[in-house]
C-alpha cells in the first residue's frame, strides 16, 4: 500500500495487483475528477437544513424501513468504536447512529447527516464508491483516496428498489484498527433486509413469487422476490431474484414472467389457487431448477374455471386437508364446528405433522379469513425477545429499541387469528402475562403506555404434551386450561391410512403438468418407513425427487431420493422395521434394491463412483450395500479401492 500511495502522489494509477480492481478504478476516477490526495479537508459542504428536510421527505419510505435494520445492525457493532450510516442515492448522509467517541471524531471529517460522501467530492470511500460500482464495497485505511480519511475502515452496500435503481446506501464505519472481517457480510445482509421490506410495501396488492434453489431457502433473507402485473409483466424484483433470473434493471416492467420462468401468467394463476401456499418446483428458461411459492395479491387474475359436478360441494382450506384418513377427518370436522367461535384451539402432534398448515386452514375457512393470520414460533425466538415480539413496546422502552416503538404480534393479529406455535417452550415468566392478555383482551406494551384492546381468534400448538408439562411444573395450569378450549391431536404420518393419497397429492402439487408416481419398490419402502420428520420430511424428499428427474421421466426411483433417506430406507431390517409386515414384501424390497445396485454397477463397468452417482447415493453406502449383498460382487476398475 505504501508503494501504491507513492504512485498516487505522483499522479499515477497503481495496478489492481497492488490495491484491488475496485480501488484502482476508483482512484482513477478521483484523479480524473481533479481531486488531490492531500487536499484540504472541506467540512463546510453540508447541504442546507431545508434541502436536508427535502431529502428526508423524498426518501421517507427508505428511512422508515431502514431504521429498525440500522438499530439491529448497530446492536451487532456497539462498543467497537463504530457507527451505522444511511445515505441517499447521491451519497448525502441522512441518518447515523453509533458510539459517541467515534461519532465525535467522524464529525471532524464531515461523516454526519447532511454531508455528501459521493466519490466526486470525498474520493474513494465505501459509500460513494458503492454508488458508482453498484455493489457492496469495503474500503480500509489507506485505500481511501483522501489522506485525512485514512483512519477509517468502511463497509457499505447499496439498497436497490424493486425496479433495480439504487435508492441509498447502508454503511458501517469505524477506526481502521478495529476492522472486523464479518462487517461486510452484516452490511450486505442489512441492505437485503431493507430491500425486502420495501418490496413488501410496494407490491402488497400484486401477485408475488418467492424463489430459491432450495425449498428451505423460501422465506429466508436469501430468497428471490418477484412481483407481477396483471398482464404477467415483471413489476418488481429484489436483488436475489434479479441474480437468479438473470434480470437487468431495464427488464423490470418490460419482460413477461414467461420469458424467464417455465410458467406463464395463466399457469401461475391456476397454480396459485391449487398450491395453497406450498412450495412447488419450477425451472428458469436457462434450465436452472428453482423452488417456488406463490402469494396471490388482491388483484390476482381469476384462475381458469374448470367444470365441476354440481353435486360436489365447494371445497375450502379445511376440506383440502382431507385425503381419507379417519382420524384426520375427525380433526377437520371438529375444527370446522368451532371456526369463528370464541373458543381457543390447541393443536398437539409431533414436529412436522402439519400443525401450522391446519391452523392456517382453520383461519382460511372461518369468518376472519380476510383478516391477518399472525404466526409466532415461540421456540424460535430468543427468550429475551419473546416479550417485546409478542406484546410490543413503547418508543425508547429499552436500549436498541426502535425509535417509533413496535405494536407487537398480538396487536398485529387484531381482527384475525393469532397462532402461537410451540407454546410449550414459552418461559414461565411470560406465561402469566399472556394469560392476562387472554383474560382482559387488552395489551400494554413494554415501557408503559395506554392499554390497547385486541380481538383475535387464538390457536396454539405444541409437540410437547402440555398436560404432562403442567404436572411437571413447566407450564402454568391456568394458562393450559385457558388455551384448551378444544384440543385437536394430529396423527403422525406413520399412523395415517391415507399415505398413498398424501404422496399423490404432493406430486400433483409439485409437478401439476406431469403424472408422476413412485417406483413399486420405493413405494413399498416409503410405506414401511416411520418418517420421523412426518409431512415436512416427506414433502422435502418428494420435492428433491421432482427436482432431479430427467426431462420426460415420470417414475421416481432410488436414484432420485436424497442420500440420507436412501440409507435409512435400505438399512431397514425387514423383520424388525415393521411390526406385522409381510416378510415376503420385505424380502422382495431387499431383492429389488440389490438388483438395482448390481445393474448400476454393471452399467458403469465397475466404476464405483459412476455407479454411486447413478444411484444417487454415496460411494461408502454403495460399498456397504455390496458387502451385505449375498450375490457375487462385481470387479472394480483399476484405481478403485477394493471392496472391504
Cα separation, 283 vs 481, in Å, equals 49
pLDDT of 461 > 90? The answer is yes
Mean pLDDT of 47-72: 87
CB 226 within 8 A of CB 202: no
- 3-state secondary structure labels for all residues of 547-571: HHCCCCCCEECHHHCCHHHHHHHHC
Average per-residue pLDDT for the chain: 82
Alpha-carbon distances of 180 from 19, 21, 23, rounded to whole Å: 19, 21, 19
Task: Please report how many Cα atoms fall inside a 13 Å half-sphere around the Cα of residue 481, on the Cβ side.
Answer: 3
The answer on pLDDT for 322 being more than 50 is yes
Which of these, 198, 193, 236, lies nearest to 59 by C-alpha position? 198
pLDDT in tens, 135-172: 999 999 999 999 889 999 999 999 999 999 999 999 99
238-257: per-residue pLDDT in tens?
999 999 999 998 999 999 99
Confidence class for position 308, pLDDT limits 50, 70, 90: very low
Strands 152-160 and 166-175: antiparallel
pLDDT of amino acid 166: 94
Whether the pLDDT of residue 237 is over 90: the answer is yes
C-alpha cell at 453: 384492546
Amino acid at each position: 500500500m505504501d508503494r501504491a500511495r507513492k504512485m498516487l502522489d505522483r499522479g499515477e494509477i497503481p495496478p489492481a495487483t497492488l490495491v484491488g480492481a475496485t480501488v484502482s478504478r476508483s482512484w482513477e476516477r478521483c484523479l480524473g475528477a481533479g481531486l488531490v490526495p492531500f487536499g484540504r479537508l472541506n467540512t463546510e459542504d453540508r447541504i442546507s437544513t431545508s434541502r436536508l428536510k427535502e431529502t428526508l421527505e423524498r426518501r421517507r419510505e427508505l428511512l422508515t424501513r431502514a431504521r429498525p435494520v440500522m438499530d439491529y445492525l448497530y446492536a451487532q457493532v456497539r462498543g467497537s468504536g463504530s457507527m451505522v450510516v444511511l445515505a441517499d442515492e447521491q451519497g448525502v448522509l441522512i441518518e447515523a447512529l453509533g458510539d459517541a467517541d467515534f461519532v465525535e471524531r467522524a464529525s471532524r471529517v464531515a461523516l454526519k447527516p447532511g454531508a455528501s460522501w459521493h466519490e466526486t467530492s470525498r474520493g474513494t470511500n465505501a459509500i460513494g464508491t458503492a454508488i458508482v460500482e453498484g455493489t457492496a464495497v469495503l474500503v480500509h485505511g489507506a485505500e481511501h483516496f483522501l489522506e485525512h480519511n485514512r483512519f477509517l475502515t468502511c463497509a457499505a452496500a447499496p439498497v436497490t428498489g424493486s425496479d433495480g435503481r439504487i435508492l441509498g446506501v447502508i454503511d458501517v464505519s469505524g477506526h481502521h484498527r478495529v476492522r472486523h472481517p464479518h462487517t461486510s457480510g452484516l452490511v450486505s445482509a442489512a441492505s437485503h433486509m431493507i430491500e425486502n421490506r420495501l418490496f413488501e410495501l410496494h407490491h402488497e396488492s400484486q401477485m408475488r413469487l418467492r424463489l430459491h434453489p432450495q425449498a428451505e431457502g423460501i422465506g429466508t433473507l436469501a430468497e428471490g422476490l418477484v412481483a407481477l402485473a396483471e398482464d404477467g409483466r415483471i413489476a418488481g424484483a429484489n436483488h436475489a431474484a434479479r441474480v437468479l433470473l438473470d434480470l437487468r434493471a431495464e427488464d423490470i416492467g418490460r419482460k413477461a414472467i414467461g420469458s424467464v420462468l417455465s410458467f406463464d401468467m395463466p399457469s401461475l394463476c391456476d397454480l396459485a389457487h391449487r398450491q395453497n401456499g406450498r412450495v412447488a418446483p419450477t425451472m428458469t428458461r436457462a434450465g436452472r431448477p428453482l423452488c417456488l411459492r406463490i402469494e396471490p395479491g388482491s388483484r390476482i387474475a381469476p384462475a381458469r374455471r374448470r367444470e365441476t359436478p354440481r353435486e360436489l360441494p365447494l371445497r375450502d382450506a379445511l376440506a383440502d386437508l382431507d385425503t381419507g384418513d379417519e382420524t384426520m377427518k375427525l380433526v377437520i370436522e371438529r375444527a370446522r364446528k368451532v371456526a369463528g367461535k370464541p373458543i381457543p384451539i390447541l393443536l398437539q402432534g409431533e414436529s412436522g405433522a402439519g400443525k401450522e398448515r391446519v391452523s392456517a386452514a382453520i383461519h382460511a375457512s372461518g369468518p376472519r379469513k380476510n383478516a391477518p393470520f399472525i404466526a409466532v414460533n415461540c421456540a424460535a425466538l430468543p427468550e429475551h425477545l419473546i416479550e417485546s415480539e409478542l406484546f410490543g413496546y413503547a418508543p425508547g422502552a429499552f436500549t436498541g429499541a426502535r425509535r417509533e416503538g413496535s405494536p407487537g404480534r398480538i396487536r398485529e393479529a387484531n381482527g384475525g387469528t393469532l397462532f402461537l406455535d410451540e407454546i410449550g417452550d414459552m418461559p414461565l415468566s411470560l406465561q402469566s402475562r399472556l394469560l392476562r392478555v387472554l383474560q382482559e383482551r387488552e395489551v400494554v406494551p413494554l415501557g408503559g403506555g395506554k392499554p390497547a384492546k385486541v380481538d383475535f381468534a387464538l390457536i396454539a400448538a405444541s409437540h410437547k404434551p402440555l398436560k404432562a408439562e403442567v404436572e411437571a411444573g413447566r407450564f402454568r395450569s391456568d394458562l393450559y386450561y385457558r388455551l384448551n378450549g378444544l384440543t385437536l391431536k394430529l396423527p403422525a404420518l406413520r399412523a395415517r391410512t391415507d399415505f398413498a393419497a398424501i404422496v399423490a397429492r404432493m406430486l400433483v402439487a409439485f409437478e401439476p403438468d406431469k403424472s408422476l408416481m413412485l417406483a413399486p419398490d420405493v413405494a413399498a419402502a416409503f410405506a414401511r418407513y416411520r418418517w420421523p420428520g412426518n409431512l415436512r420430511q416427506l414433502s422435502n424428499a418428494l420435492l428433491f425427487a421432482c427436482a432431479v428427474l430427467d426431462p420426460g421421466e415420470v417414475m421416481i426411483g432410488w436414484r432420485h431420493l436424497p442420500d440420507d433417506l436412501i440409507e435409512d430406507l435400505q438399512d431397514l431390517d425387514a423383520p424388525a422395521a415393521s411390526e406385522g409386515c409381510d416378510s415376503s414384501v420385505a424380502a422382495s424390497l431387499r431383492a429389488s434394491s440389490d438388483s438395482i445396485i448390481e445393474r448400476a454397477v454393471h452399467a458403469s463397468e465397475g466404476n464405483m463412483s459412476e455407479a454411486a452417482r447413478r444411484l444417487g447415493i454415496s460411494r461408502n453406502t454403495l460399498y456397504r450395500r455390496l458387502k451385505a449383498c449375498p450375490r457375487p460382487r462385481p470387479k472394480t476398475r483399476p484405481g478403485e479401492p477394493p471392496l472391504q
